[in-house]
Amino acid sequence: MTGPFSLAGRRVMVTGANTGIGQGIAIAVAAAGATVIGVGRSAMDETAERIDTAGGIFVAVACDLADPAAARAMFEAVETAEGPIDGLVNNAGIIRRADAVDLTETDWDAVIDTNLKTVFTLCQAFGRSAIAARRPGKIVNIASVLAFQGGIRVASYTASKHGVVGLTRLLAGEWAANGINVNALAPGYVESNNTAALRADPDRSAAILGRIPAGRWGRPEDMGGAAVFLLAPASDYVHGAVLPVDGGWLAR
């Protein structure tokens, strides 16, 4: 496979590749020709099977991404074992729902550590390796439409996703001259574990669906093509962009 959207010969790390958006991105990245290194705490057997069946290559790596130090050690170990990482997709994330007056410090810290601190830690490890080797690379951080809005009952999640956008822009500015592209996707309301509670609430689900111009919830595979674009040569002059993939949610 060749061309501006080919990832042939590249190694791409995708965190949280066991299900949902991470799985959709991992499958698309493998179909574009990359070796996918899936990282997460949960088993990724289904993702591995789907990629293997399609003729792709998937390497599963176990790591508790709630621990930034463990994430850094994992990244370094993977590069030693598998070779340099050409692309990094920071997808793994958690959510805690509660009214702001009731959100606990424990839940705040858990979300910020996983969704923001570990994202920075992995970006930093990637950047240090690539810059030292004078090697180009691509980072795609997964933000959210709540990086543009406040939402309700998800204070720590909203704060983390605003942070991801700021971090993406900061790193893009620092590393563009080194040939490292740092961009982000901002998914809308997608069928995933993180939205299970919303989809189970008939009133909330109907309200959300009624605002999406595309007329449906997003699916994990909807994120795949956008991620491939931001990892491929087609986006070599794209730095610091935040691409909404939201069925038109933000446009309405």
Q: Which residue out of 58, 75, 157, 249 is catalytically annotated?
A: 157
Provide the 3-class DSSP secondary structure of residue 131.
Answer: helix
157 labelled catalytic: yes
Q: Which residues on adjacent β-strands are paired with residue 13?
A: 37, 88
Residue whose structure tokens are 């570990």: 118
Provide the 3-class DSSP secondary structure of residue 13.
Answer: strand
Q: Can you read off the two tokens belonging to residue 197?
A: 């509670």
Start-end of H helices in the chain: 20-31, 45-53, 68-82, 105-112, 118-132, 155-175, 196-200, 202-211, 221-231
Cα separation, 194 vs 204, in Å, equals 14
Question: Is the separation of the CB atoms in 213 and 251 below 8 Å?
Answer: yes
- Axis-axis angle for helices 45-53, 20-31 (nearest 10): 20
Cα separation, 59 vs 37, in Å, equals 5
Cα separation, 119 vs 144, in Å, equals 14
Angle in degrees, CA 68, 146, 227, rounded to 5: 65
Indicate which residues carry an active-site annotation: 157
